[in-house]
Amino acid sequence: MYISTLLAKSKNQVIRACNGQEAIELVSKYKNINLVLMDIKMPVMDGFEALKRIRTISPQLPVIAQTAYALPEDERKICKAGFDGYITKPIIKEKLIETINKILK
């Protein structure tokens, strides 16, 4: 919800999923998704498993991890899993926009 508010003034439509399974279903349903912001810790299915499944549906779709875990080993694990970017919580609007713009260029 917070991210939707942050991105409300952008030209992009925000579609929200409540868990990893819903994210997979949305990526399958909407073929015009340009970017996924994925929380690592979610109910039903975590971000790592959801990313694996999204990659089978849309291998080139950029996925940015969101996490409260900010230790260097956490960042390495996220990068090794295949996320295209990484932002830590609390999410700072400027950092979020910078990360999105960097990946979408």
Q: So what's the pLDDT on residue 48?
A: 97
What is the extent of the structural domain holding 37? 2-104
Strand partners, 67: 88
More confident residue, 2 or 36: 36
CATH code where residue 59 lies: 3.40.50.2300
Confidence (pTM): 0.90
In tens, the pLDDT along 24-49 reads 999 999 999 999 999 999 999 999 99
Total domain count, the chain:
1
Rounded distance, CA 80 to CA 8, Å?
31
Residue 71 binned pLDDT confidence (cut-offs 50, 70, 90)? confident
Q: So what's the pLDDT on residue 82?
A: 97
| pLDDT above 80 for 8 | no
Rounded distance, CA 14 to CA 78, Å?
23
